[in-house]
Amino acid sequence: MPRLSFVTDLHGHPNRYDKLFEYLIQSPPDMLLLGGDLCPHGFHSINGDFFADIFLAGFERVRAALGNRYPKVHLILGNDDGASIEPWFIENGAGGLWTYLHMQVVEEMGLTLIGYNYVPPTPFMLKDWEKYDVSRYVDPGCVSPEEGQHSISVRQRDLRYSTIAQDLSELTESVEMENAVLLAHSPPYKTALDHAGLEGKMVDHVPLDSHVGSIAIRRWIESRQPLLTLHGHIHESTSRTGDFKEQLGRTWMINGATGGPELVVVEIDTDNPADAARLTL
């Protein structure tokens, strides 16, 4: 099966993209998976130089350099990427540069790829890619999807009643899991991948949970047991726990985010995900 490279939470930093494109040219994988929060902070519309001059031009340069060695590229967005920019990624990937994977199940190179953008409610105000997790509960200090801001129109019923748990169930109900890879921006709850370092902090005298991942995603992994799941979102988790990967049953779960300025690339042999390596460039 293919050799994967996983990168996430680039947040539009030109130096990270420069390093990514050079890495792809020098060491092209079979497949590149991008795990969301790709754009500069606060970009909710297509403006500035990032989209055409950095993202699109960069992948075009890589394809020109590699020819038929150009990797299959699949991507999702994250909670810091406004939903109003989603059509740009769909339209500009149509020529084969990349595939936008959110709420899609795609068969590619012997793998079943599943994409999912949404994260549980956060303290941040942009809610385009936030949903209630398993119920309408919101952690202390966080803002509900109904009370935040959106860059596109969303039905009130969806804001109030839609959950991550329901989405994953409906999206994957009939999907075989033997060679499935979930690309999800949120990490699973209470793992080495979702530690936000909130120990000792309180909101209105209520202690905060340091684990801020998705309960729904964890339950889905426990029950469905895909081959591999890839996550970002919690930048500091790896430095706090010392681990970027963890096994839950047969499933290997990996966080590719970093709290530093460097580019992190996780290289994964899908025949042996346990040996995944985290490169700092």
Domain at 76, CATH number: 3.60.21.10
**What pLDDT was estimated at residue 43?**
60
**What pLDDT was estimated at residue 84?**
93
Residue 44 in this model has a pLDDT that exceeds 60:
no
Percentage, residues of the chain above pLDDT 90: 92
Structure tokens at 161: 């009643």
Percentage, residues of the chain above pLDDT 70: 98
**Domain containing 25: what range?**
3-280
Burial of 182 (0-12, 13-18, 19+ CB in 10 A): buried
Structure tokens at 6: 């996983």
- Tell me the CA distances in angstroms from 128 to 30, 101, 162, 186, one per residue in order: 31, 16, 13, 14
Residue 165 in this model has a pLDDT that exceeds 80:
yes
**What pLDDT was estimated at residue 206?**
84
**What pLDDT was estimated at residue 19?**
98
Number of domains the chain contains:
1
**What pLDDT was estimated at residue 154?**
94
**What pLDDT was estimated at residue 41?**
82
Residue 197 in this model has a pLDDT that exceeds 90:
no
Answer left, alpha or beta for residue 203, where phi above 0 means left and psi between -120 and 50 means alpha.
Answer: beta
**What pLDDT was estimated at residue 42?**
66
Residue 46 in this model has a pLDDT that exceeds 70:
no
Lowest mean pLDDT among 42-51, 56-65, 187-196, 205-214: 42-51
When pLDDT is averaged across residues 250-273 and rounded to a whole number, the result is 97
Residue 235 in this model has a pLDDT that exceeds 60:
yes
Structure tokens at 74: 């699949």
Euclidean distance between the first and final Cα of the chain, in Å? 25
Round to whole Å and give the CA distance between 260 and 244. Answer: 14
The candidate with the shortest Cα–Cα distance to 244, out of 261, 260, 231, 225, is 231
Residue 270 in this model has a pLDDT that exceeds 80:
yes
